[in-house]
Structure 1
Amino acid sequence: MKFRCTSKQGSFLKSIVLFLFLLIGTCNGQAQCLEKNFAFNAGEELVFRGYYNWGFLWVAAGEVKLSASADQYKGKEVFKIKGEGKNAKAFDWFFKLRDTLTCYADVETLSPLYFDRRTHEAKYDAHHEYWFDYEKNQITSQIQKREKPVKLDTLSNKPCTFDILSVAYYVRNIDFSKYKKGDKIPLSMLIDNEIHSLYIRYRGLETIKANSGERFECLKFSPLLVEGTMFKGGEDMTVWLSNDDNRIPIMVEAKVLVGSVKGILESYSGLRNTKNSFFKKKKGNLNIAE
């Protein structure tokens, strides 16, 4: 007997891997630039386990690894930020998903200089490349999907625009003390050859409990999502960042078109801060209660 992947099954696996990357939305406001990077440094690696809720069960179905290293880009010192997403091997037989995102970002401002996204989802392949020219205030793109011809384009860049990978590290460095519960924090992000104005809504502090009994005070916020193939739209995603000097994403939850997904921090290494932090070691595992 042969089994085939249904569109719903493919969608939820894609959602589990990609929802940790995608923060899409709109707002009226000016995006803010980075004042100071205090949350991470080269050598950090974070691993998240993705879960899908189908009825009453949470099923482990994917993994996302984020890493930052020191590198050079066109003779300039940069952070090489990499995101690797994949579904659990148990699902490979009907929907194999492997996504790789790479960004070279300025060490001071985290402004992206080059962004590369390689998508492999079942029989679908795509390759997106973007080059940022701040002197000309433009972005050059090169995109190929499936076996279609390569598309070249030039976009007008907006100040303080991030790609879908560097934006995650920018958010970790936001000074949330400037905001009250319910405030919107504007962002500008490049995705799929378009620059989107978006926001995250700050929802205050909340404590998350690990299975070990350890508690983590977190900064809680929700991005505005655009209705599409994975999300219903609205503010149906919630992110929890550790309220310490590392600002590590502890957990992410989102409603999708069928069910809901969750990403939970599984392990960490190479943390920049151990003082004034919940994480007294630079390396460890985390077991958050679901």
Structure 2
Amino acid sequence: MIKKHLACLLLLLAFAQITKAQCIEKNIAFQEGEKLTYRGYYNWGFIWVAAGEVELSVQQSHYQNKEAFHFYGKGKNVSAFDWFFKLRDTLSCYANRETLAPFYFDRRTNEAKYHAHHEYWFSSNKKEIYSRIQKKSKPVLFDTIANKPCTFDILSIAYYVRNLDFSKYKKGTKIPISMLVDNEIHALYIRYLGLETIKTKSGEWFECLKFSPLLVEGTMFKGGEDMTVWLSNDDNRIPIMVEAKVLVGSVKGILDSYEGLRNTKNSFFKKKSGKVEITE
């Protein structure tokens, strides 16, 4: 049962990262050189089984002569499962350094015998998104989608949410976002659930902003608010843990290591690099 749910890990962490959709004016939460690594788990009955690893990184770059952030995510299952189901997925996005609006998004899915390549080009002048989708043994599909203000892909949205000012929202507030998922723009939201602390195995407590995103119904999720995200309540706003129900069972992503944090003075993380272990 693990094989289908390993593919959720990248999407969970990327998505975790919404009255009227809004754009940020300036990034204050992260910087180039940041690298976050997560361990993925699948709940099999009453047992949480280690299933894979997800890595998210930020680099300074350029896109068509414009300064840009290069967001990169990769996910893989643990090597012990390669004989059963080999997964190697990657997400790549070039985004505006000020607004985090995406210029280009690339998603490569390699899961056992299933292979797909999604590409999206965001045209700010014509307010359109051009897409190219290639699936194994099928013709290449080209399309043009009408873009909407402040629309993000499933990777850049994670970094956008980290810059939201949650202090102005009350518990239960819906914060809307506009997100491109599988060649379609969806009007989604996250529901702010207030503050909650998470205890580590080392005995440290992490105060977190807790929220539940609205999911798109599909082959992985039933839809609705079946995901919970815990975001560090400091200036870095790092996803500490993400948990979601899937069609069969549930999956969880837990922060394992980090480096290159932008804000080290007002932070729950005492060092520029380290390890985090969440108590089960």
Q: Note whether the superposition's TM-score is higher than 0.5.
A: yes
Equivalent residue number for residue 53 of structure 2:
63
Equivalent residue number for residue 216 of structure 1:
206
Residue range with higher mean Cα deviation, 238-247 or 35-44: 35-44
- Give, in angstroms, the shift of residue 278 of structure 1: 0.6
CA distance in 1, matches of 2:193, 2:56: 25
Equivalent residue number for residue 21 of structure 1:
14
Match status 1:137 vs 2:127:
yes
| 8 Å contact from structure 1 (residues 46, 265) kept in 2 | yes
Equivalent residue number for residue 86 of structure 2:
96
CA distance in 2, matches of 1:200, 1:137: 25
CA distance in 2, matches of 1:217, 1:142: 42
Match status 1:73 vs 2:63:
yes
TM-score in terms of structure 1 length: 0.93
| 8 Å contact from structure 1 (residues 17, 62) kept in 2 | no
Amino acid of the structure 1 residue aligned with 2:21: A
Equivalent residue number for residue 280 of structure 1:
270
| 8 Å contact from structure 2 (residues 10, 73) kept in 1 | no
Q: 2:75 aligns with which of 85, 92, 100?
A: 85
Runs (4+) of structure 1 moved beyond 3 Å?
Answer: none
CA distance in 1, matches of 2:137, 2:199: 47
- Give, in angstroms, the shift of residue 17 of structure 1: 4.2
SS in 2 for 1:77: strand
Match status 1:267 vs 2:257:
yes
- Give, in angstroms, the shift of residue 94 of structure 1: 1.2
Residue pairs, 1:92-241, within 5 angstroms? 92-241=82-231
How many residue pairs end up in the alignment?
279
CA distance in 2, matches of 1:105, 1:227: 27
Equivalent residue number for residue 32 of structure 2:
42
| 8 Å contact from structure 2 (residues 15, 158) kept in 1 | no
CA distance in 2, matches of 1:109, 1:280: 29
CA distance in 2, matches of 1:103, 1:156: 19
For 1:28-49, what per-residue CA distance to the aligned partner results, in whole angstroms no more than 9, with x for missing partners?
x632111321110000000000
Amino acid of the structure 2 residue aligned with 1:201: R
CA distance in 1, matches of 2:32, 2:183: 28
SS in 1 for 2:6: helix
Q: 1:258 aligns with which of 241, 245, 248?
A: 248
Residue pairs, 1:242-257, within 5 angstroms? 242-257=232-247
| 8 Å contact from structure 1 (residues 18, 85) kept in 2 | no
CA distance in 1, matches of 2:231, 2:142: 37
| 8 Å contact from structure 2 (residues 236, 263) kept in 1 | yes
| 8 Å contact from structure 1 (residues 98, 120) kept in 2 | yes
CA distance in 2, matches of 1:204, 1:282: 27
- Give, in angstroms, the shift of residue 22 of structure 1: 4.4
TM-score in terms of structure 2 length: 0.97
CA distance in 1, matches of 2:221, 2:150: 26
Amino acid of the structure 2 residue aligned with 1:169: Y
In 2 relative to 1, CA 153–34 (structure 1 residues): closer, same or farther, beyond 3 Å? same
CA distance in 2, matches of 1:17, 1:159: 25
| 8 Å contact from structure 2 (residues 256, 277) kept in 1 | yes
